[in-house]
């Protein structure tokens, strides 16, 4: 396996810096709402069967007046996949199960039903191959067409700055991926989803890393604007009930279909960090 140590460290540094900027912005929004809520940061270490260093991460969680529950996690882990799982991962096999992975993962569930929930993650993985993946998708319990358009427009611009085919490909991929087959409904209003941007050499790494950084910048630009636009709106008990029922669909997708959840569970990740995507209150009718 090619030694991607320096590249993994560079990606990790960026993910951690992005985490700090996002958390600062979310705390600033809480201050604007008259709340003193702040992120609590909980470090964790990945346990391995042989006692070797498997890496770890930091789980950041805030519960406030605007953000009912938001988690921003950064992790960097390494080790070997279980043989039966290795065959399902790009570039890995039962004979070559080694991997490293570093990334940022964010899920925000909002107190006001008019404010959209959101998911974002970007990551860099190495096996016998090396690649970037990630994306962001908007999940409003009460959709507003202008919010959906603003979200997509910002990620369209980020994509177009790198490759004219990216937005069409990655938005379609998001629509296909963030879909709940047993309900025959989309999880939200889409965004972008990409994976396996292969880094065959240093030039490819720099190219795909630049795009991944712009995905993070796009999120940090557009989502706080949507939050500030909607967070002061009045809402009814019926709005809250609709939000809680919609959250049930979100839970179903994350526990049944989400590949990130499966990857975390199969690689010995921190359970609380893996399941931080679950909302604080939810109902099923």
Alpha-helical (H) ranges within 110-199 are 145-160, 166-177
Paired with 119 in beta bridges are 107, 137
Residue with tokens 């951690």: 16
**Under a CB-based contact definition with an 8 Å cutoff, are residues 115 and 230 in contact?**
yes
Residues in the chain: 285
- Locate 174 and state its tokens: 């998001």
Paired with 70 in beta bridges are 62, 108
Alpha-helical (H) ranges within 62-144 are 83-86
Active-site entry in 119, 152, 162, 208: 119
- Locate 140 and state its tokens: 């409003």
Name the CA radius of gyration of the chain, rounded. Answer: 19
Q: How many CB atoms lie within 10 A of CB 168?
A: 11
Residue with tokens 């959840």: 261
Angstrom distances, CA of residue 194 to CA of 37, 48, 131: 33, 29, 11
**Under a CB-based contact definition with an 8 Å cutoff, are residues 142 and 239 in contact?**
yes
Residue 119 is a catalytic residue: yes
Q: How many CB atoms lie within 10 A of CB 157?
A: 14
Catalytically active residues, by annotation: 119
């Amino acid at each position: 396996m090619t030694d991607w140590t320096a590249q993994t460290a560079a990606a990790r540094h960026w993910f951690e810096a992005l985490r700090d900027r996002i958390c600062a912005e979310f705390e600033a929004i809480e201050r604007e709402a008259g709340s003193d809520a702040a992120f609590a940061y909980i470090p964790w270490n990945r346990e391995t069967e042989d006692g070797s260093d498997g890496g770890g991460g930091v789980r950041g969680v805030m519960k406030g007046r605007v953000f009912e529950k938001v988690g921003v996690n950064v992790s960097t882990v390494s080790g070997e996949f279980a043989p039966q799982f290795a065959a399902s991962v790009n570039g890995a096999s039962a004979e070559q199960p080694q991997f490293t992975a570093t990334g940022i993962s964010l899920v925000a569930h909002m107190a006001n039903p008019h404010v959209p929930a959101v998911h974002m993650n970007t990551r860099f993985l190495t096996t016998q191959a090396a690649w970037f993946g990630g994306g962001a998708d908007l999940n409003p319990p009460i959709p507003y067409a202008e919010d959906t358009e603003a979200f997509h427009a910002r990620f369209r611009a980020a994509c177009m700055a790198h490759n004219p085919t990216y937005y069409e490909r990655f938005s379609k991929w998001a629509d296909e991926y963030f879909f709940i087959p047993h309900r025959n409904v989309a999880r939200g209003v889409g965004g972008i989803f990409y994976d396996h941007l292969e880094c065959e050499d240093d030039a490819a790494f720099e190219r795909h890393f630049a795009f991944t950084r712009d995905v993070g910048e796009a999120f940090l630009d557009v989502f706080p604007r949507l939050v500030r636009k909607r967070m002061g709106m009045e809402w009814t008990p019926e709005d809250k009930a609709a939000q809680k029922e919609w959250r049930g669909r979100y839970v179903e997708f994350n526990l049944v279909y989400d590949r990130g959840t499966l990857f975390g569970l199969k690689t010995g990740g921190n359970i609380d960090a893996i399941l931080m995507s679950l909302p604080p209150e939810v109902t099923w009718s």
